[in-house]
Structure 1
Amino acid sequence: MDENRALDRENGDEEMVEVSQIRRAITNNEEPGSEIIFIERVFEQKPVPTWREQLTVRAFVVSFFLSILFSIIVMKLNLTTGVIPSLNVSAGLLGFFFVKTWTTALERTGLLRQPFTRQENTVIQTCTVAAYDIAFSGGFASYLLGMSEIAANQSTEANTPADIKNPALGWIIGFLFLVSFLGLFALVALRKIMVIDYKLIYPSGTATAHLINGFHTPEGSEIAKKQVKTLGKYFLFSFLWGFFKWFYTAEDSCGFQAFPTLGLKAYDNSFYFDFSTTYMGVGMICPYIVNASMLIGAIISWGIMWPLIGNREGSWYPRGLKSNDLHGLEGYKVFIAIALILGDGLYNFVKVVARTLPSLISTLRSKINLKTLPIQDNNNTDTSIATSYDDEQRTKYFLKDQIPKSVAIAGYIVLAIISIIVLPHIFHPLKWYYILVIYITAPVLGFCNAYGAGLTDWSLASTYGKLFIFIIGAWAGSNGGVLAGLAACGVMMSIVTTSCDLMQDFRTGYMTLSSPKAMFISQVIGTGMGCIIAPCVFWLFYKAFKDIGIPGSQYPAPYAIIYRNIAILGVDGFSSLPKNCLVLCYITFAAAVLINLARDLAPKKIARFIPIPMAMAIPFYLGAYFTIDMCVGSLILFIWECIDKTKAKIFGPAVASGLICGEGLWSLPQSILALAKVNPPICMRFLSRKDNSRVDTFLST
C-alpha cells in the first residue's frame, strides 16, 4: 500500500516536472521540442472532440460578449492614437476564465455534459479575434472616416460632394458584409501548403497556441486563475479611475488629460502626462523599442521641427491660416508623417517580398518540401522525437477535416460577383472594373502578405491598402478619385487582413489539435459578429462625441486625415503642398529607408537600440502626450522586471490588459452619459501665474 502511494507520488512529481517544463517553454515562447517536451503526450489521454463538438453554444456566447468588450477597446484606441497592441492574450485568458467558471459551476451541480477543452478555447480565441479585428480593418478611424465631411473640411482640396460620403450605420454594415468574408475564401485552399508544407511559424499564432496549451495543463490552469484575478483587480482600478477622471472634464481643455505635468510650455507642445491607464497598459505590452521610438519621434517633431517651421510663418506659408489648414503648419505635420509611414512601409514591403520570393520559388521547385523549407536549417535535418511525435499528431488532425477547394473557389467568386454589382451603388465613383481588378489581384497580395507574416509576423495590409489608394485614385481622376481610392483601400485591406488572420488561426488550431473546419466556421461567425458589433460601437462613439476626427479633441482619429491626404496626393499630385514641404518629405522618406536599412545591417546588439520609423511617425501628427503615458508604462514594467522578472513575465500582460480593458470599457457608460446629455460637474483647468492673476482680478470686479 505504501509502495503504491510512493509510486503514485513519484509519477505525480514526474508529471508536474513535465508540466513545469511545458509551462516554461510556453512562457518563453519556445517551440515545442526545444527541451524535448512531449506536449501532445500531456494531452494523450484526453480525447480530441469532433469539429462539431468544438463549436459549442457557450463558446459563441462568450465570444459575443468578449467581442463587444474588445471592439470598444480597439475602437477607442483607433480613434485616439491608432496604436493598437495585441489583445490575443487578453482574449484567450478571459475566454478560458469565463468558460472554466461556467463548466465548474455546472460540474458541481452535476449538469456538465461536455468538458472544456483547449480546442473549444481555440474556437473562442478565433471567433473573438475575428470579430474585434473588424474594428480595425473596417477603417472606422482611417479610410471610412477619411471619406467624411469631417475629414474633408480639414482640407481645401477634394472637398466636393463627389469625394465625400458621411458615415451611416446601414451602408457601413452592408459594406463590411460585402468585403470582409472574401479574405476567408481567398486563401483557405492553401492552408495545408502554408501550415504543413512550408511550416510557416506565424509567431503570434504559435504564441497563442502555447498560451492555450498551457492553460489546459494542471499547473497552467492554476497560473491562469491567478492571472485572471490580477487582470480583474487592475480592470476595476482602471474603470474606477476613468470614472473619477470624468468628473473633472466639463470642457475639452479640462481634467487630468490637460494636466501640465512637465510645465505649461511643454504642455503647449503636447508634452505632458495625461494619467491614461489605457496607454500605460499599452506601453507595458508594446516592446521597449516601440515606445522609445515614439518618444524619439515626438521629440524630433514637436520638440524641434514644428517649432522651427512655425517660426517660418509668413515666409514658408501665409500668416493667419487656421490651425487645420494644409497650406500651413498642418500640411507639414500631415505630409511629413505620411512620408515617414510610406518610407517605412515601402522598405518593409520590398524586404518581405525579397525574402519571400526566393524561398517560395525554391520550395515550389523542390519535390521534397522538408529539405527546402524557408525557415528550416538545411544543415540539420535531424528532428527530435518530441517534434516528430507532435507534428505527427498535429498533421493527422489538421488533415482530418477537409474544406473542399471547390467551396473556397466558388465562395470567393460568388462573393466577388455580388460585391462588383453592389459596391458601385454604395460608392458611385468606384466603378465595377476597379473592383474587378482589386479582386483579381487580392488573392496574390493576400498570399504574399500571409506568407510574409508567417515568416516575420509582420502584416503589410495597410501598405497594400495605401498602394491601392494611389492606383485607383489616380485611375478615377479628379471627379470622385479621392472617394474611389479610399473605398478601394477598404476593400483591399479587408481581404488581405482577414486572409492573413485566417492562416494565423490555422496555425494556432494546428498546434492545439483544433479542426480546420471548426477554425474556419468560427472565423466566419466571428467575422459576421464583427460586421455588426464594430459599426454599432463606432456609431455609439460617433453620435456621443461630436468632435470625433477633429485635431486636438478627445478622439482626433489621426489616420482619417492622413488617409484622405494620401488619396489627394494620388489624385492631385504634389502641387498643393506648402513651400519646402516636398523637400522635407523626400528627406523624411529617405531617412525612414536608411533607418530601416541600419536596423537590418547592424549587429543585433546595436540594432535593438535603433528606432522604428513607423512608430516614430505616429506622434508626428498626433502629438507627444500619449508617448509619455506609454513610456511610463514601460518604466513600470522595466522596474518590475528588475525586481522579479518571472512574475513580471507571467503577470505583466494581465496587469496591462486590466489597465487597458478597464478604462476602455468606461468609454461605454461615458458614451451613454454623453448621449443622455449628462455633463461632468467640474472643470479642472491649469493657468499660468499671470493668467491666474488676470482671472482673479476679473472675478473680484
Structure 2
Amino acid sequence: MMNIEQKENGEIERDKREEQVIKKDDGDDHNNIDHQLESSTRLQPWTQQITIRGIVASVILGCIYSIIAMKLNLTTGMTPNMNVSAALLAFVFMRTWTKMLQKSGISTVPFTRHENTMIQTCSVACYSIAIGGGYGSYLLGLNKKTYELAGGASSPGTYKEPGVGWMMGYSFLVCFIGLFVLIPLRKVLIVDYKLIFPSGMATGVLINGFHSQGDDMAKKQVKGFAKYFSASFVWGFFQWFFTGKEGDCGFAQFPTFGLEAWKNMFYFDFSMTYVGTGMICPHIVNISLLFGAVISWGIMWPLIGQKKGDWFPPGLPESSMKSLNGYKAFISIALILGDGLYNFIKILYITSRSVHGRIKTKNLNPGGC
C-alpha cells in the first residue's frame, strides 16, 4: 500500500511539474507574440518607412496605374478608386521580392505595414496626377491639331501647345492647390465631425490584415487577384487575333443587337476594363449610364442627325463642333453642370446648417462635451 501511495504521489507531482512547464511555455509564447505584434505596430521613423525599394516599387505601380487611369478616363470618362488594389499590389510585389532575396541567401529588412502604406500612397499620388492634372480630359487636347479637328478656326491665341516644362509646372500648381484645399476640409469633416473615410479605412484594414493575420489570408487574396488578372490578360490577347486593322470588326465591335444598331454605336466590345469598371461602380451609376446611352444614342442623336442642313451645315464632318458633335457635347455638358451645381448648393446648405447647429449647441452648453 505504501508503494502504491508513493507511486501515486510521484505521478501527481510529475503532472504538476509538467503543467507548470506548459504554463511557462505558453506564457513565453504569448510574450513573444505580443512582442512581435508590438514591434510590427510600433511607428517607425520616417527614414525607415521611405526606402529605396519602396520608391522603386512606387514608381512601377504608379506608371501601371497611370496607364490604367488614362485609358479609363479617355474611354469611359471616369476613373474608379484604386486605393485598395494599389495596397494589394504593393504587398504582392514587396513580399515576393523579399522572399526571393531570402531564398537567394541575401538578408533583407522585413517588409512592414508602414512601408506598404508608403508605397500605396505614392502610387495613388502618381495616377491621381494623371487624373487631376487633366491628362485624360483636356490638357492634351489644347494643341492646334486637336483644335482644328474639333472644327475650330486656326487663329493665334485659340490653342496652346503644351510642352513638357509647361505641363510639369501646371501639374505642380494644380496638385498643391488641391493640397491647400484639402487641409481645412480634413480638419472640418474628418477631425471635427469624425466622418468616416471609406477608401482610406478600407485600405488601412486591408494592409493591417496582410501584416497581422499571417500569410494565409494574403495568399487567398493574391490567388484570387492572379486568377482574374490572368483571365483578363489571356482574353485580351485572344481578342487581338480577331481584331481588324482599324479595330472596327471582330470582338472589338461585335454587333450584338444587329447591324442597324451597330451603326448607332450599339455593340459590345468584350472589354474586361469596362466590365471591371461596371463591377466597381454602384448599380445606380451603371443604370444611369445605360439610361443615358439609350436616350442619347438610341433616340436623340439619330433624330438630330435627320436635321442635317436645317440645324447645322450638311458639308461638315460629324466630329466637328459645328456639326452633330456640337449638340452632343453641349447637351451633355449642360446636364452635368446643372446636376453638379445642384449638388454643390445642396452640400453647401447641409454643411452650413450642420455647422450652425453645432455652434448653437456649443453656445447653449459651454461646459458640455
TM-score interval w.r.t. the shorter chain?
Answer: 0.7 to 0.9
Matches within 5 A, 1:658-697: none
TM-score, scaled relative to structure 2: 0.80
> What letter corresponds to residue 295 of structure 1 in structure 2?
L
**Shift in alpha-carbon separation, 1:41–1:283, aligned structure 2, 3 A:** farther
Corresponding letter in the other structure for 2:265 = S
Indicate yes or no: 2:333 matched with 1:338: yes
State the alpha-carbon separation in 1 of the partners of residues 329 and 311 from structure 2: 16
Residue 87 to residue 269, structure 1, CA distance change in 2 (3 Å): same
Corresponding position of 1:242: 236
Cα offset, 1:79, TM superposition:
1.9
Distance change in 2, residues 1:186/1:43 (3 Å): farther
Q: Distance in 1 between matches of 2:228 and 2:264?
A: 31
TM-score by length of 1: 0.44
CA contact (8 A) 2:313 2:323 kept: yes
Deviation at 1:147, TM superposition (A): 1.6
Alignment RMSD, CA only?
Answer: 3.5
Give, in whole Å, the separation in 2 of the partners of 1:135 and 1:72.
9
Q: Which amino acid aligns with 2:136?
A: A
1:350 & 1:324 partners in 2: Cα distance? 34
Identify the residue that residue 206 of structure 2 maps to in structure 1: 211
Q: Distance in 1 between matches of 2:46 and 2:326?
A: 54
From 262, 279, 283, the equivalent of 1:288 is 283
Distance 1:41 1:196, change over 3 A: farther
In the alignment, structure 1 residue 302 sits paired with structure 2 residue 297: yes
| Aligned ranges 1:81-96 → 2 under 5 Å | 81-96=76-91
1:367–1:168: structure 2 CA closer, same or farther, 3 Å change rule? same
Match 2:49 to one of 47, 51, 54? 54
Q: Which moved more, 1:227-236 or 1:328-337?
A: 227-236
Q: Does 1:227 align with 2:221?
A: yes
> Is 1:327 paired with 2:325?
no
- Match 2:127 to one of 113, 129, 132: 132
Taking the aligned partners of 2:49 and 2:334, their CA distance within structure 1 comes to 47
Match for residue 73 of structure 1? 68
Pairs within 5 Å for 1:616-635: none
Distance 1:314 1:55 in 2: 63
Q: How does 1:598-637 map to 2 (within 5 A)?
A: none
Aligned mates of 2:169, 2:323 — CA distance in 1: 38
Deviation at 1:73, TM superposition (A): 0.9
Code of the residue aligned with 1:292 in structure 2: it is I
- Alignment check: 8 A CA contact 2:112 2:211 kept: yes
CA, structure 1 residues 80+54, in 2 after alignment: closer, same or farther (shift >3 Å)?
same
Structure 1 segment 29-40 matched on structure 2, within 5 A: none
Asked whether the 8 Å contact 1:97–1:225 carries over to 2, the reply is no
- 2:318 maps to a residue whose letter is S
> Does the C-alpha gap of structure 1 residues 306 and 61 become closer, same or farther in structure 2, counting only changes over 3 Å?
same
Larger Rg: 2
Q: Which amino acid aligns with 1:294?
A: L
Q: Which residue of 1 aligns with 2:3?
A: none
What are the Cα deviations for residues 654-692 of structure 1, in whole angstroms up to 9, with x where unaligned? Answer: xxxxxxxxxxxxxxxxxxxxxxxxxxxxxxxxxxxxxxx
Question: What stretches of structure 1 of length at least 5 have no aligned partner?
Answer: 13-39, 372-377, 382-701
Q: CA deviation at 1:345?
A: 0.9
Q: 1:68 to 1:51 in 2, by over 3 A?
A: same
- In the TM superposition, residue 335 of structure 1 has moved relative to its aligned partner by 1.1
Give the deviation of 1:130 after TM superposition: 0.6
Q: Cα distance, 1:263 vs. partner?
A: 1.1
One-letter code of the match for 2:235?
Answer: W
C-alpha distance 59-270 of structure 1, shift in aligned 2 (>3 A): same
- Tell me how far apart the structure 2 counterparts of residues 77 and 295 of structure 1 sit (CA, whole Å): 17
Higher relative contact order (Cα pairs below 8 Å, separated by 6+ residues) = 1
Q: How far apart, CA to CA, are the structure 1 residues paired with 2:122 and 2:217?
A: 24
Q: How many residues align?
A: 345
- Displacement of 1:297 in angstroms is 0.9
Which of 151, 162, 166 does residue 171 from structure 1 map onto? 166
| Residue segments in structure 2 that go unaligned for 5+ positions in a row | 1-17
* Residues 42 and 363 (structure 1), Cα distance of their counterparts in 2 relative to 1, 3 Å cut: farther
Which residue in 1 is equivalent to 2:274?
279
Does the CA-based 8 Å contact 1:148-1:166 persist in structure 2? yes
Q: Distance in 1 between matches of 2:210 and 2:201?
A: 14
Residues 315, 218 of structure 1: alpha-carbon distance in 2 compared, 3 angstrom cutoff: same
- Which residue number corresponds to residue 11 of structure 2? none
Change (3 A) 1:188 1:2: same
1:94-113 residue pairs with structure 2 within 5 A?
94-107=89-102, 111-112=106-107
Q: Classify the secondary structure of the residue corresponding to 1:161.
A: coil
